[in-house]
Amino acid sequence: MFVFFTETISSAIKCSKRAKETAIIFAQNFSYPIENIIFSEALYTFDERKLESIIKLFPNSYNNVILFGHNEAITNFVNKFGSIFIDNVSTSGFVSLQFDTEDWQSIQNGKTLKVIFPKDLN
C-alpha cells in the first residue's frame, strides 16, 4: 500500500475482497466517507507497468491518493518510484510515497516517507 496525505484524499481500490475490507476498515478508523472510495477493476493487476499507467491517468485534482492492494505490482511500484528498496510489501503493509509534482502523468522518483509492516507493530 502507499498513501499520500494532505488536504484532499481520494481512494482507489483494486477490486479484491481483502482490499475492499481493508479500505473500509481504514476509512472507518479515519472518519473517511466510505461513499468516496472508488473501487476499480482496472487496479486489479499484478503488472506494475499497468498499475503505473493507471496511476498516471489520475486527475490532477487528486492531491493525495490512497491505494490498497496486496500483490507484486505494489512492491514493484514502490521500488521503482520510492527512495528505498523494499523486498516485499506484505499483506497489511503500508508504504507512504511523496512526489515532487502536481501532475500524476509526470511522476518520477519520489521519496519514501514511511514504511510499516505488521511485524513492526509488536
Q: In this predicted model, what pLDDT tens digit does every residue of 36-47 receive, in sequence order? A: 887 777 777 778
**pLDDT at residue 70, rounded to an integer:** 62
Mean pLDDT check: name the lowest of 46-50, 103-107, 113-117.
46-50
Estimate the crossing angle of helix 72-81 against helix 48-55, to 10 degrees. 60
Say which residue, 8 or 98, is predicted with more confidence: 98
| 3-class secondary structure, 68 | strand
**pLDDT at residue 2, rounded to an integer:** 33
pLDDT band for position 15 (cuts 50, 70, 90): low
Cα separation of 65 and 16, whole Å?
18
pTM of the predicted protein model: 0.79
